[in-house]
Amino acid sequence: MSTLVGKKAPVFKANAVINGNDIVENYSLDQFIGSKYVVFFFYPLDFTFVCPTELLAFQAKLAEFEKRNTAVVGCSVDSQFSHWAWLNTEKNQGGIKGVTYPIVADLSKTIAENYGVLAGEYDIDEEGKSIFVGGPVAYRGLFLIDKNGVVRHQLVNDLPLGRSIDEALRMVDALAHFEEYGEVCPANWSEGKDAMTASANGVADYLSKH
């Protein structure tokens, strides 16, 4: 697995479900270039256990991302029809009804593979047949993509480990602060706290105050 930070986010066009109910073709993140940040995250499978807690948690904070001019987009190796069914299943039945941000279908697993989060790989067996070794699902990968389509932050969790939505928001804030003020963000920085200039004097000044 290689890092994508500092590189252009891999381009794709795929089926997706938007607004919780509408299936669209050729969905692409390219629509946000020049206008919005994107938090693009992968999860293993629909109708599982940790996954609905994450997707619903992103929805609960969706207004906070929107205030920051940030699009949230999910993706798994399920089909658009599985996404649609899950999105239309009540929460008390294991569904994620109420989620409105787009969820991309990566049935071919090529998007997860291109982003380096596929929990396995294709190989050839002794008979020359193509096989899949490992888990044919995506790790819990998250990518913060800037308005130029460049990945600026990347986080990958193993399958049992749910993510912090607040940390994703913090990373958006840090990127926006750097772009607006040119200041870098130290450890545990959050909006409203002191940042610093990227220089020896800037570091010394910051450390002397903290």
Active-site residue list: 51
Report the candidate in 155, 13, 147, 16 with the shortest Cα–Cα distance to residue 76.
Answer: 16
Question: Which of 148, 154, 189 lies closest to 37 in space, CA to CA?
Answer: 148
Q: What is the DSSP string of 80-144?
A: HHHHHHHHTS-GGGT--TT--S-EEE-TTSHHHHHTT-EEEEEEE-TTS-EEEEEEEEE-EEEEE
Residues in the chain: 210
